[in-house]
Amino acid sequence: MDEDRLTPQMGRLIDRAKAAALSATSPHARAEGVALLACDGSVYSGYPGEDPELPQACAAETALAFARRAGRTDIVAAAVAVANDPAQTLFPSNGSCEVLAGIDKDLPLVVKHRGRWVLLLLSELRSRSRGAR
């Protein structure tokens, strides 16, 4: 599903992932932001190093920790953004892919692909990304 057909809720998820990516300040780490959508519409976002309890965590692990602390385990979708990266296709880091696969190997995931925001299943993305990295 491409960006012309994404719901407003998916648009808000992208915005939260972008905001998290822009907040990542480490010059040595990829400025990745991940936003997770729970069943009730709550969104939890994170970036590497944001959580003092998990200073080495990837963006998805940080976002998931925030969701779990709020009592949410019902994650139904995610979005990934990378700040200041001009690439037309941006897939999650390997660490974030592993964390997201731990939630659901077929988790719906919004990513930038060929210059457009698209909704893919994580399992589809993982097979596509093998050739794109």
Domain spans, the chain: 3-132
pLDDT digits (tens, 9 = 90+) for 77-120: 999 999 887 888 888 999 999 999 999 999 999 999 888 999 99
The C-alpha atoms of residue 31 and residue 81 are separated, in whole angstroms, by 8
Q: Does domain 3-132 have CATH number 3.40.140.10?
A: yes
pLDDT digits 0-9 by tens, 115-127: 899 999 999 876 6
- The reported pTM is 0.88
What φ, ψ does residue 20 adopt, rounded to 5°? -65, -45
Tens-digit pLDDT profile for residues 2-31:
556 788 999 999 999 999 999 986 665 668
